[in-house]
Amino acid sequence: MVKTAFLFPGQGSFVPGILRDLADEGPVSETLRRADAVASGYGHGNIRSVLTDSRSPQQRAMTDAPSTLWLAIFTTSTALHAFLRAEGLRPDVLIGHSQGEIAALTAGGWLALEDGLRLLCEREAHLRAHSPRGGLLAVELGVRRTEGLIGMMGDATAAMAADNAPGQTVISGSEDSLATAQKVLAAMEVTSTRLRAPYPFHGPLLAGVTESFREVVDGVEFHLGHTPVFSPILGRPIASVDDARAVVRNHLVQPVWFRKAVFEVLADGVDRFVECGAKSILVDLARRTTPNSVDFLAPLTRRAAKADVHALFDASADAPVAPHDESAAGSVPETPAVPAAAEPETTPVALKANGRLPEADVLIDELRQIFAEQLGYPLDVLTDDVDLEADLGISSVKQIELFTIVLDRYNLATPPSDIRPGLFATLPDLATFLRRLDDDAAKAA
């Protein structure tokens, strides 16, 4: 008998229009309706349109409306959970990461859906009013070395924010402390990446926000849930209503011990992890921690209809099938998530001449050839309007690899660290950015 853990992601798990092909399913439609009712009461944007219209803004364009972003991430998870339960898949345990703990509590019956949504709206209001400047830094170090680095810095604003997987941790801190950490890590030749987080989550800088938010949390009714929840913040299963309240009350300042949570549920017999949200962020992290015998499924690495989700789980019954990017664990997927086709015909890519890239149309065609060659996609799939992540399921990890290949192919310098491939939804978007890089290089010459 398969024992299943549902994983509820937080930051970074938004994809515009991700529920487009599931929106008419009863549980999904109802969740969207209820989310919009709460969002409109707080004056926030329409959640249904953000999650069902593929033309909705990318995550980078929603930084000025973080409440809509948090609500969209939460609603994606709770809508997918409601759909999967209605289709007969009942998880044995739920695990949330960061904000995902609130979604896990809601899915498990510990919080009403409307209360989970209201908590996120109120949380954002308190963050805007009281949070100092700061953010998060992902570090390719294990927890002990990261704790040693933080101690060496001697900066009280810096703290361990998350232990995600072997060799993958996150630091929370002020702008100055994160800049110092990046300099030290660069000298150590350790990779670090500044995350697109608007606040210094899971660190001491949010103590004031936690205190002001406490009254809101204490005014919400919690219940004994119908599904067990393992809390990475507590480092153990939630055993009472008081536990559930403590998780929400303190989640802004307490670290996320996700790796420990994965180990603990594995020891309890879990042998299948399902990403209950967009992308495959948490199953990719869990895969770095678990044995090969464990099954990993991510239903929404791209926009999927009911039949697609059923096909994924039906295949899983006989053999582990996960549409996630294995390159997060050091390998590349053997086949793309598109119908098999003949090998694409490619022609040599013309390198730039005299410091200039080809004209826009030619450049886009050349990028199409590069992507087809590297991924095995037929050329006619890589249209100008196809969304690389949402439509084709090309994860941000794989996009980094492709981006590096493109830079090398055109002899372009690596851009600043705050520019990432995930900023480019389509091939024309990428072409526009490459031309800007080339223009800047020509001016500097």
Mean pLDDT of the chain: 85
Q: Which of 73-82, 163-172, 312-321, 332-341 has the lowest mean pLDDT?
A: 332-341
Q: Tokens representing 18?
A: 């991700």
Query: CB under 8 Å to 31, separation ≥6 — which residues?
Result: 75, 78, 79, 82, 113
d(CA 442, CA 445): 5
* Domains defined along the chain, listed by start: 4-130+205-324 (3.40.366.10), 135-198 (3.30.70.250), 360-444 (1.10.1200.10)
Note the pLDDT of residue 329: 34
d(CA 365, CA 412): 18
pLDDT tens figures, 248-304: 999 999 999 999 999 999 999 999 999 999 999 999 999 988 877 899 999 999 899
- For strands 229-231 and 93-96, give the pairing: parallel
Burial degree of 139 (CB within 10 A; 0-12, 13-18, 19+): buried
Model confidence at 326, pLDDT cuts 50, 70, 90, reads: very low
Neighbours of 105 (CB within 10 A): 29
pLDDT tens figures, 46-103: 999 999 997 776 656 566 668 899 999 999 999 999 999 999 999 999 999 999 999 9
β partners of residue 356: 353
Measure CA 152 to chain center: 30
Is the CB of residue 391 less than 8 Å from the CB of residue 303?
yes
Is the CB of residue 131 less than 8 Å from the CB of residue 175?
no
Note the pLDDT of residue 350: 42
* Sign of the four-CA dihedral 91, 95, 100, 103: positive
Query: What is the average pLDDT across 347-373?
Result: 70
What is the pTM assigned to this prediction? Answer: 0.77
Torsion region of 269: left, alpha or beta (phi above 0 gives left; psi -120 to 50 gives alpha): left
d(CA 47, CA 32): 7
More confident call, 442 vs 14: 14
Q: Tokens representing 12?
A: 């970074």
DSSP states along 178-189 = HHHHHHHHHHTT
Query: What is the average pLDDT across 304-313?
Result: 90
d(CA 234, CA 250): 10
Note the pLDDT of residue 340: 32
Model confidence at 419, pLDDT cuts 50, 70, 90, reads: low
Q: What's 300's DSSP letter?
A: B
d(CA 388, CA 428): 11
Note the pLDDT of residue 319: 39
> Which residue, among 425, 424, 423, 405, has the nearest Cα to 414 in the 3D structure?
405
Query: What is the average pLDDT across 158-185?
Result: 95
**∠ Cα 44 83 311 (to 5°):** 125
Note the pLDDT of residue 236: 97
pLDDT tens figures, 391-411: 676 766 677 778 878 887 888
